[in-house]
Amino acid sequence: MDFGLTADQQMLAETARQVLSVEAPPRTVRRIADDPQGFSPELNRKIAEQGWFGLLVPESHGGLGLGMLDAAVILAELGRSLAPVPFLSSGVLATSLLLAAGSTPQKKAWLPRLASGEAFATVAWLEESERLDATGIALRARRARDRLRLSGAKRFVVDAQQADLLLVAVRTGSGTGPAGVTLVLVPRDTPGVSVVPLPSIDRTRRFFEVSFDDVAIAPSQVLGAEGKAWRHLEALLDVASVAIAAESQGGAERALEMAVEYSKVREQFGRPVGSFQAVKHMAAECVALVEPSRSLVWYAAWAQQEIPKDAARAASMAKARLSDVYSRVANVAVQMHGGIGFTWEHDMHFWFKRAKQSETWFGEPAWHRERVARASGW
């Protein structure tokens, strides 16, 4: 029994912080945020050199073969730096889904390329209804001889502009329940696929609408068994929740640090504003939110690997709590900066916006609390 990170994980965190401070300092993040495409192949390459994109990929497929807690360590550092790299979308979400649902040839075809950062993938799940249960998967795949034909649209597909491969959740059976949900692999350059940006407040993470206009899918493109993919998506919801929670933990810590540093140098009434109790208490209240939540994230990440029966409850606890904590801390951090915190020129708003985007994505806190209630047998 040891509740904490291993020496290797601590080293991973330190290395990640060091690498990101060199490769993705705030001026780089800002440059990418201003870029119409919203990503940097050069930065992606640097991150690929670290091997992070293959973190969850087994060694037999060219990855590092590590687990969700290791991924959470990297995600926390990415959340701190806001480096706009497709780690969450490709290295965590798409990779987890391929690992869970893919056939051996599918894994062989894609995992080594994803692990090396030579290719990226993303999951296309949400639709207009934004429902996170099986009914939310309404995009129909019609059968036409040995092909499936897709028509319809997916929303909030993260990093779709830089993804080579889309993992699309579609409905192949009749009805609206778990049976009949199928995952298909669609290369983004397939004729009939179009990707339209959904510009949002968070310019460090780009979302897209992906439309399918009678796109033909061969049997080899069906991920795992047709009509039986819902359980993989349900598990992916837990992975996504933990991942976003881990990022949020890192982001909240960084926002608070910036605010505290600023309060030590900004002077009013002839002394640093951080010497006033009103300001100290704002910061201390944030510490009281941030410190205990780290343990919750670690537990939730660990549960994904080691405690399957508590994985869903733990993931939703972490997502609900970290969503609230990050948004609150980012809000206070802006206020601790005063007027400068409200400007475009200062970096603070990037964290403030990421917090809200993360809070609302993959289930807002109230939805996750209800899921915790159900998982607790209430």
State which residue, 33 or 317, has the beta carbon closest to other proteins.
317
- What one-character DSSP code corresponds to residue 83? -
Binding map of other proteins across residues 145-184, x = CB under 8 A, - = no contact: ----------------------------------------
CB atoms within 10 A of CB 258: 20
State which residue, 209 or 359, has the beta carbon closest to other proteins.
359
CB atoms within 10 A of CB 375: 17
Residue closest to 33 by CA, chosen among 81, 72, 91: 81
Close Cβ partners of 136 (under 8 Å, ≥ 6 residues apart): 125, 126, 127, 129, 130
Among positions 27, 36, 191, 376, the unique one binding other proteins when judged by CB under 8 A? 376
Residue closest to 123 by CA, chosen among 88, 148, 147, 151: 88
Among positions 11, 22, 144, 366, the unique one binding other proteins when judged by CB under 8 A? 366
State which residue, 234 or 370, has the beta carbon closest to other proteins.
370
Binding map of other proteins across residues 321-350, x = CB under 8 A, - = no contact: x-----------------------------
Token readout for 362 is 């993959």
237 near other proteins, rule: CB under 8 A: no
* Total interface residues for other proteins by CB under 8 A: 46
State which residue, 66 or 97, has the beta carbon closest to other proteins.
66
Stretch that binds other proteins, among 1-9, 56-64, 122-130, 136-144 (CB under 8 A): 1-9
Question: In this structure, are residues 265 and 340 in contact, taking their beta carbons and an 8 Å threshold?
Answer: no
| Chain position carrying tokens 């990929």 | 57
State which residue, 56 or 165, has the beta carbon closest to other proteins.
56
State which residue, 194 or 295, has the beta carbon closest to other proteins.
295
Q: Within positions 264 to 293, which residues make up the interface with other proteins, using CB under 8 A?
A: 264, 271-272, 274-277, 279-281, 283-285, 287-288, 291-293
CA dist 185 and 182 (Å) reads 10
Binding map of other proteins across residues 57-96, x = CB under 8 A, - = no contact: ------------x---------------------------
Shortest Cβ 270–other proteins spacing (Å):
10
CA dist 301 and 311 (Å) reads 8
Shortest Cβ 324–other proteins spacing (Å):
8
Instruction: Report helix, strand or coil for 142.
Output: strand
Shortest Cβ 119–other proteins spacing (Å):
31
Shortest Cβ 359–other proteins spacing (Å):
14
State which residue, 2 or 34, has the beta carbon closest to other proteins.
2
133 near other proteins, rule: CB under 8 A: no
φ/ψ of residue 121, rounded to 5 = -135, 160
CA dist 131 and 177 (Å) reads 12
Shortest Cβ 67–other proteins spacing (Å):
9
Question: In this structure, are residues 224 and 102 in contact, taking their beta carbons and an 8 Å threshold?
Answer: yes
- What one-character DSSP code corresponds to residue 211? E
- Could you report how far apart the first and last alpha carbons of the chain are, in Å? 30
Q: What would the DSSP string read from start to end of 298-331? A: HHHHHHHHH-GGGHHHHHHHHHHHHHHHHHHHHH
Pairing of strands 181-187, 165-171: antiparallel
Shortest Cβ 279–other proteins spacing (Å):
8
Binding map of other proteins across residues 297-326, x = CB under 8 A, - = no contact: -xx--x---xx---------x--xx-----
CA dist 58 and 204 (Å) reads 29
Q: Give the footprint of other proteins on this chain (CB under 8 A).
A: 1-6, 9, 69, 260, 263-264, 271-272, 274-277, 279-281, 283-285, 287-288, 291-296, 298-299, 302, 306-307, 317, 320-321, 366, 369-370, 372-373, 376, 378
